[in-house]
């Protein structure tokens, strides 16, 4: 059962299309990371789901109820902001209590002096206090409840913001780069914590980040957004190994995936060095294609006798691995390989190398970036297939 469903959300600002029809379904308890380069529309999408922005077209359904025309306050969503957006004049405890007080107490009951005299507010307030305390204990911030945001560290503020969002058990949890203001060490630690909290609360979560390692390591499914389109939504391993679009392949992975421009021959076969790939079951003869291979599936061997040769141009030593860049002799493109230091020891700058590409890891995309099926073929087999 989908708890959150977005259908064809569009949004443009002054003729600039920010979202070009985004659809997405989240299952109960699912953690979905929205990832993409800055300006891809992921934060706008999140704000539209929250009700802070309104889409030009499209439908939003939360828990079976259409909410596209509702105000943020009525949607039963909670959000953690990049800057945490804690109210600086309230203590941590008061901050966490705000969403409860806003919903449970009437406008009159919330008035400073008069409110305290109204019937029923006392029980409500103590109930709110109890829940705040409980939430704070769960997040281990109960000792901070009397402090104001200005007296807390970044990590503590982040927890208070999480507590404020989680305290009223929302139908959907929205997070807008909640870790980007933490320093690197804390960030990795906080990733694990958020995932734990999510598991325990079981509330479906949309998590916006520009950091692909955050997305891949935390999410059940990753949605890659580029240029206002949701290009692919899949489990982390799937989206990394099996991207459906070249932009997804390019966006994920560090160092970046190698992209080589080439063509299929009359038989629909790509010949690249030793590599022989049948593109799209032979249905794309004599067409330009893009051949991609992740750096971890490229090897450079000292020598220059093979079919695909190049010269080492740059080497980056990263401790556990070495990134080697070599320029191909034939077409002048640079190919990057991720090598073990022991392998890279045999290489030096300017050295001629043979380039080995793992055939079953190479992928093909057409000119528009759509994925083409690629089957490694032996020459004989392919000839047989074609002339057979």
Partner 1 sequence: MTPNAPSVARIARLTVLSLGALIFLAPYIFMVSTAGKAQSEIFSSSLSLIPQQWSYIENFSKALSRVSMGTLLFNGVIVCALIFVIQIVVAIPCAYAMAKLKFRAARTMMVLVMLGLLVPIHATALPIYVAFDRLSVLNSYAALVAPFSISVFAIFLFLQFFRAMPDELIHAARLDGMSEAGIVARVIVPNAWPAITAFAIFSVVAHWNDLFWPLIVVTNQDYATPPLGLLYFRAAEAGDDYGALMAATLIITLPLVTAFLLAQKRFVEGITMTGLKG
Partner 2 sequence: MASVATFETAIAEPAAREARIAWLLALPAITLLLLFILLPTLAVIVLGFTDFELGYGSFRFVGFENYAELFGDRTFRRSLWNTAVYTLIVTPVSIVLALAIAMLIEAETKGRAFFRTVYFLPVASLLVAMATVWQFLFHPTIGPINTFLSLFGIAGPNWLGASGTVLYGLSIIGIWQSVGFNMVLFLAGLTAIPRELYAAAEVDGAKSWFDRFRLVTWPMLGPTTLFVTTISIINSVKVFETVKTLTEGGPNKASEVLLFTIYQEGFVYLRVGYASAMTVVFLAILVVLMFLQYRVLDRKVHYA
Tell me, by CB under 8 A, how many residues bind partner 1: 3
Tell me, by CB under 8 A, how many residues bind partner 2: 31
Q: How far apart are CA 338 and CA 354, in angstroms?
A: 15
Q: How far apart are CA 376 and CA 386, in angstroms?
A: 14
28 binds partner 1 (CB under 8 A): no
Q: Are strands 363-366 and 374-376 parallel, antiparallel or unpaired?
A: unpaired
Nearer of residues 102 and 114 to partner 2, judged by Cβ: 102
CB burial class (10 A; 0-12, 13-18, 19+) of residue 368? exposed
Q: How far apart are CA 310 and CA 354, in angstroms?
A: 6
Rule CB under 8 A: which of 45-84 touch partner 1?
Answer: 69-71
Query: Closest distance between partner 2 and the C-beta of residue 96, in Å?
Result: 10
Query: Closest distance between partner 1 and the C-beta of residue 289, in Å?
Result: 47
234 binds partner 2 (CB under 8 A): no
Q: How far apart are CA 279 and CA 11, in angstroms?
A: 37
How far separated are the first and last CA of the chain, in Å rounded?
49
Q: How far apart are CA 323 and CA 296, in angstroms?
A: 9
303 binds partner 1 (CB under 8 A): no
171 binds partner 2 (CB under 8 A): no
Stretch that binds partner 2, among 58-66, 95-103, 119-127, 358-366 (CB under 8 A): 95-103
Stretch that binds partner 2, among 19-27, 74-82, 337-345, 368-376 (CB under 8 A): 74-82
Find, among 128, 219, 125, the residue nearest to 175 by Cα. 219
164 binds partner 2 (CB under 8 A): yes
Nearer of residues 107 and 184 to partner 2, judged by Cβ: 107
Query: Closest distance between partner 2 and the C-beta of residue 51, in Å?
Result: 7
Query: Closest distance between partner 2 and the C-beta of residue 98, in Å?
Result: 5
Tokens of 320: 């556990």
- Mind giving me the DSSP string for 324-380? EEEEETTT--EEEEEE-HHHHTT--TT-EEEEEE-GGG-EEEETTSBEE-EEE--HH
Tokens 């734990």 -> residue: 196
What does DSSP assign to residue 58? E
42 binds partner 2 (CB under 8 A): no
Q: Are strands 352-357 and 298-302 parallel, antiparallel or unpaired?
A: antiparallel
Q: How far apart are CA 285 and CA 264, in angstroms?
A: 6
Q: How far apart are CA 42 and CA 71, in angstroms?
A: 20
387 binds partner 1 (CB under 8 A): no
Three-point CA angle 102, 106, 109, nearest 5°: 100
106 binds partner 2 (CB under 8 A): no
Q: How far apart are CA 339 and CA 297, in angstroms?
A: 9
181 binds partner 2 (CB under 8 A): no
**Which listed residue (39, 54, 66, 102) binds partner 2 by CB under 8 A?**
102
Nearer of residues 91 and 212 to partner 2, judged by Cβ: 91
108 binds partner 2 (CB under 8 A): no
Nearer of residues 100 and 344 to partner 2, judged by Cβ: 100
Q: How far apart are CA 173 and CA 206, in angstroms?
A: 6
**Which listed residue (17, 61, 98, 358) binds partner 2 by CB under 8 A?**
98
Nearer of residues 104 and 271 to partner 2, judged by Cβ: 104
Q: How far apart are CA 90 and CA 246, in angstroms?
A: 48
89 binds partner 2 (CB under 8 A): yes
Query: Closest distance between partner 1 and the C-beta of residue 50, in Å?
Result: 13
Q: Under the rule (CB under 8 A), what is the footprint of partner 2?
A: 47, 50-52, 71-74, 77-79, 81-83, 85-90, 98-99, 102-103, 107, 110, 148-151, 164
Q: Under the rule (CB under 8 A), what is the footprint of partner 1?
A: 69-71
């Amino acid at each position: 059962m989908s708890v959150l469903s977005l259908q064809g959300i569009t949004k443009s600002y002054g003729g600039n299309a920010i979202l070009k029809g985004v659809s997405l379904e989240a299952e109960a308890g699912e953690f979905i990371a929205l990832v993409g380069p800055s300006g891809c529309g992921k934060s706008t999408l999140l704000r539209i789901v929250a009700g802070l922005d309104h889409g030009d077209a499209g439908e939003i359904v939360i828990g079976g109820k259409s909410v596209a025309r509702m105000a943020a306050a009525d949607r039963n969503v909670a959000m953690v902001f990049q800057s945490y957006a804690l109210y600086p004049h309230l203590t941590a405890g008061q901050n966490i209590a705000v969403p409860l007080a806003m919903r449970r107490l009437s406008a009159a009951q919330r008035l400073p002096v008069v409110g305290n005299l109204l019937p029923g507010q006392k029980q409500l307030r103590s109930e709110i206090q109890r829940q705040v305390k409980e939430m704070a204990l769960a997040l281990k911030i109960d000792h901070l409840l009397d402090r104001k945001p200005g007296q807390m560290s970044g990590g503590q503020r982040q927890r208070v913001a999480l507590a404020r969002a989680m305290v009223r058990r929302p139908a959907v949890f929205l997070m807008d780069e909640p870790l980007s203001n933490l320093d690197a060490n804390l960030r990795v630690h906080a990733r694990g914590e958020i995932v734990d909290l999510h598991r325990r609360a079981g509330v479906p979560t949309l998590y916006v980040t520009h950091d692909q390692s955050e997305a891949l390591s935390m999410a059940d499914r990753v949605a890659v957004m580029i240029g206002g389109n949701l290009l692919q939504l899949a489990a982390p391993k799937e989206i990394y190994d099996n991207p459906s679009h070249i932009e997804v392949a390019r966006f994920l992975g560090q160092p970046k995936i190698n992209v080589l421009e080439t063509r299929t021959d009359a038989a629909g076969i790509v010949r690249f060095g030793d590599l022989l790939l049948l593109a799209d079951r032979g249905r794309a003869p004599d067409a330009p294609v893009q051949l991609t291979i992740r750096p971890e599936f490229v090897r450079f061997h000292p020598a220059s006798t093979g079919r695909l040769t190049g010269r080492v141009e740059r080497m980056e030593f990263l401790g556990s691995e070495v990134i080697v860049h070599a320029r191909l002799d034939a077409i002048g493109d640079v190919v990057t390989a991720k090598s073990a230091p022991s392998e890279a020891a045999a290489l030096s700058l300017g050295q001629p190398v043979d380039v080995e590409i793992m055939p079953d890891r190479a992928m093909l995309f057409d000119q528009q970036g759509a994925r083409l099926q690629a089957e490694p073929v032996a020459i004989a087999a392919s000839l047989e297939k074609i002339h057979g």
